[in-house]
Structure formats: C-alpha cells, structure tokens
Amino acid sequence: MPKVQPIEAGGGGGRARTRRVVSTLNEINVVPLVDVMLVLLIIFMVTAPMMQRGLDVNLPQARRAQEINDQRLFVTVPLTFRKDRRVHLGQDAVPFEFLAERVRQAMRWRSEKQAFLQIDAALGVQDMIDVMDKLKEGGVDKVGIVAKFPETR
C-alpha cells in the first residue's frame, strides 16, 4: 500500500508543497520470471525430440513404396553386422545366433506374423538372406524390406 509522506515547506517563499505519495517496493515483480520460464519451456520443447536418437542405417532408395503407419516389428541390420554379428530387434541389440528365438518370443501374441527388415545398403545380399532365414525360422510369415523414399529434386 502506498505511503503518504508529508513534505515540509521550504524557506523559498513560494507555495508550500502538500503531501506526495511514495510507493515502496515490497512486492516481487513476477512478469520477468514468467517470461524467462516461457522461453525455457519453448527451448525444452524444441530440443527434447532431438535428444532421442536411433541407430544410423543408410537405407537403399525405392521409387514405389508405401509408408508404414502401424506399430510393427523392425529388425535393423547396421553396417557393423559384418564385424560383431549383431542385429537390432526394435531397440534391443541381439546376437545373430539368438535372433530366431527372440523373434519367436516377439511373435507369440501377434495375429500378423510379419517383420520389417532395415538393412544397411552397403551390406551384401547374402547378409540380407541370412537375416531373412533367421526371421523365417523365428515364425515370421512375411518379411518387408524397408527403403527410404527418393529425394525430390
């Protein structure tokens, strides 16, 4: 609440001043705090999706492909498959020898026994066939090969 302070009349012979109102700063101004918080919120909203990063695979291009919209089982074969013989079933790294068993466990409750294979373009056809054989051994009926859309020019 503003305080009223009387001001004494000076000896200058003019009119005497009356009271003046002095406001004290006893409340915190929250507007700058809200502004800073909104800016931080926007920064976190923009950067949060960038923090989730998947596995880098250089997919081959296809001219006629359809987008996959449903939640499907993805098997990713990175370029390092030649060295460590590991594939990624969803987000989990699985040794190639255990791929059939892990796929069998993943397909147990699914009505559609299909999987999508994401294989690096630098890998050979034999590597792709080996992985597809393991998927078939695990109970997959249909194997789709994922390719990226061609870039528009």
pLDDT at residue 36 in the model: 94
HEC letters along 34-47: HHHHHHHHHHHHHH
* Inter-CA distances, 102 with 80, 91, 123, 126, Å: 20, 13, 23, 21
Which is more confident, 146 or 149? Answer: 146
Mean residue pLDDT of the chain comes to: 80
pLDDT at residue 40 in the model: 94
Q: Which residues contact 76 (CB under 8 A, 6 or more apart)?
A: 55, 57, 87, 88, 118, 119
Torsional class of 12: left (φ above 0), alpha (ψ -120 to 50), beta (otherwise): alpha
Q: How far apart are CA 55 and CA 77, in angstroms?
A: 10
Express each pLDDT in 27-59 by its tens digit.
Answer: 778 888 999 999 999 998 988 877 766 677 777
Which is more confident, 111 or 82? Answer: 82
**What's 112's DSSP letter?**
S
pLDDT at residue 153 in the model: 46
Q: How far apart are CA 140 and CA 113, in angstroms?
A: 5
CATH match for 73-145 among 3.40.720.10, 3.40.930.10, 3.30.420.270, 3.40.50.300: 3.30.420.270
Whether the per-residue pLDDT at 10 is higher than 60: the answer is no
